[in-house]
Amino acid sequence: MFIDALKSIWLESGFSVLTWQHLVMIAVACVLIYLAIVKKFEPLLLLPIAFGVLLANLPLADLMKKEIGDIQGGLLYYLYLGVKKGIYPSLIFLGIGCMTDFGPLISRPSSLIMGAGAQFGIFMAFIIANLLGFTPQEAASISIIGGADGPTAIYTTARLALDLLGPIAIAAYSYMALIPIIQPPIMRALTTKEEREVKMEQLREVSKLEKICFPIIVTIFCVLLLPSVAPLIGMLMLGNLFKESGVVDRLSDTAQNALMNIVTIFLGVTVGATANAENFLQPQTLAIIALGLLAFMFSTVGGLLIGKLMYKLSGGKINPLIGSAGVSAVPMAARVSQVVGQKANPSNYLLMHAMGPNVAGVIGSAVAAGILMALFG
């Protein structure tokens, strides 16, 4: 009797159906948790993602089980609908808009060209992914990792290649965390010491009216031109208008703090939960991770090359290092420009100058995603 009871408990437990694939994924989750807590690699996102990976790979927990008829689905399945329907990435963009100062970009609009150049990696990765046998939809989703913009990558993948969401989201956020390691060698290799030492002129002050009109103008222009980009650009600019208008401080505060934190939890856990053993432990995951790295590197190269071109055209007044910040990843990429610039010239302060290409990169990667969704959606 007692043995039968024990046997029954064992058979109904997850341990009885645990496979080596589950164990590998649990180990992956533990490594990600370690990186988030100990190494502090994008912990706000990596920790919920890692825990989502862990939850999804505990057999029989069925947290991602679909709702079928009257049978209830798992908790994460319902939360995941926000990812699937593109709600969370758009809400994250609302919060980012509230936190973003487009002043440096308005002050030096030529930063937009660097932001455009830094999308180069997306399209290089797109070509290579196609050569490797991915479908155009999958290639587009993988390549958007090069935009260094997590919400955009998730939004595009949810629209074009939902099955690849787990590996793409994990690759995108991991590389964003690794920007201080990935970018500096490329920046030093592509610039001379003389270029890195350039001290840039102070930015002009931007009027409040300019800052208020900017999100309105960009929304009207971008959404009319590329309607597919409306959820991302629309929310980004709405958030920015909340901030700049100065009349809805409560909304701005909620969007950039409470709402952003809530959505980050839902997004992180559910994206992590898509990385189950069956989907994740595939040869294509390695290809996605490699392509993501290539996309990041080529985007950095693209931004730097445009930066070098602008250095020449401006007669040496623009430091090409700020071009690498065009890969989005606000504000980390701008901080990397600052650090590398200051190593070449300790009295150099490039942070505010790099914020221009940095926020231009956010718009650039959203536009690139909009084009790919319009072509392959």
- Interaction of residue 291 with another protein, rule CB under 8 A: no
Member of 88, 93, 126, 280 binding another protein (CB under 8 A): 126
User: Closest Cα to residue 302, out of 332, 326, 318?
Assistant: 326
DSSP label of 192? -
The 3-state DSSP class for residue 68 equals strand
Q: Point out which span in 113-121, 161-169, 188-196, 266-274 binds another protein (CB under 8 A).
A: 113-121
- Interaction of residue 211 with another protein, rule CB under 8 A: yes
Q: How many CA atoms lie within 13 A of 80 on its CB side?
A: 23
Cβ nearer to another protein, comparing 57 with 141: 141
* Number of other residues whose CB lies within 10 A of the CB of residue 189: 9
DSSP label of 15? G
144 and 165 in contact (C-beta within 8 Å)? no
Cβ nearer to another protein, comparing 264 with 358: 358
- Interaction of residue 106 with another protein, rule CB under 8 A: yes
- Interaction of residue 136 with another protein, rule CB under 8 A: yes
- Interaction of residue 115 with another protein, rule CB under 8 A: yes
- Distance CA(100)–CA(106), nearest Å, equals 12
- 44's CB contacts (< 8 A; 6+ apart) are 264, 268
The 3-state DSSP class for residue 110 equals coil
Query: Could you give phi then psi for residue 108, rounded to 5 degrees?
Result: -130, 85
What binding mask, one character per residue, do residues 358-377 give for another protein by CB under 8 A, x or -?
--x--xx--xx--xx--x--
- Interaction of residue 333 with another protein, rule CB under 8 A: no
* Number of other residues whose CB lies within 10 A of the CB of residue 276: 19
Member of 27, 127, 181, 286 binding another protein (CB under 8 A): 127
Member of 33, 113, 327, 334 binding another protein (CB under 8 A): 113
Member of 226, 265, 291, 351 binding another protein (CB under 8 A): 226
Cβ nearer to another protein, comparing 243 with 335: 243
Q: Point out which span in 101-109, 190-198, 278-286, 339-347 binds another protein (CB under 8 A).
A: 101-109
In degrees, rounded to 5, the angle at the alpha carbon of residue 140 between the alpha carbons of residues 139 and 144 is 115
- Interaction of residue 64 with another protein, rule CB under 8 A: no
- 249's CB contacts (< 8 A; 6+ apart) are none
- Interaction of residue 213 with another protein, rule CB under 8 A: yes
Member of 3, 5, 68, 131 binding another protein (CB under 8 A): 131
- Interaction of residue 124 with another protein, rule CB under 8 A: yes
22 and 277 in contact (C-beta within 8 Å)? yes
The structure tokens listed for 124 are 């290089």
DSSP label of 191? S
Which chain residues interact with another protein by CB under 8 A?
103, 105-106, 109-110, 112-113, 115-116, 119-120, 123-124, 126-127, 130-131, 133, 135-136, 139, 205-211, 213-214, 217-218, 221-222, 225-226, 246, 360, 363-364, 367-368, 371-372, 375
